[in-house]
């Protein structure tokens, strides 16, 4: 993946089992919980070009969130804030070599950032 590519999309759901069945049937997605990501089923579309996860819905996570790969989350968050965005989730580790964060643009649209080597969806 390259800087600026959308690498992953998380979908907030209330029932992981029902959502797995729904999206698997509707779109033919392959959905499974990879080792180390229990409770977070990840999906891959039939042609393997994209994917994401089914994440538990919460008060702070109610709409799908796209992840954009960047070279530096720290630099990208600073640039977003400089141009009127706000940090929604500070940089957090996914594993030893990968991180994520989220921001809202000036219109309130939430996007996430991904930096690292873990294969996202």
What pTM does this model have? 0.84
Domain 6-116 has CATH 3.50.50.60: no
pLDDT on residue 48 = 78
In the chain, where the domains are located: 6-116
Average pLDDT estimate for 75-95: 96
CA-closest candidate to residue 76, choices 102, 109, 110, 108: 102
CA dihedral 110, 17, 21, 54 (to 10 degrees): 20
Average pLDDT estimate for 5-31: 93
């Amino acid at each position: 993946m390259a800087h600026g590519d959308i690498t992953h999309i998380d979908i907030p759901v209330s029932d992981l089992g029902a959502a797995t069945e729904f999206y698997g049937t509707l779109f033919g997605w392959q959905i499974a919980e990879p080792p180390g990501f229990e409770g977070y089923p990840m999906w891959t579309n039939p042609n393997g070009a994209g994917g994401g996860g089914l994440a538990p819905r919460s008060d702070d996570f109610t709409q799908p969130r796209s992840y954009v790969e960047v070279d530096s989350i720290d630099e990208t968050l600073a640039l977003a804030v400089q141009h009127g965005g706000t940090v929604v989730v500070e940089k957090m580790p996914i594993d030893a070599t990968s991180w994520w964060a989220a921001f809202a643009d000036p219109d309130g649209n939430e996007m996430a950032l991904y930096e690292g080597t873990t294969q996202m969806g």
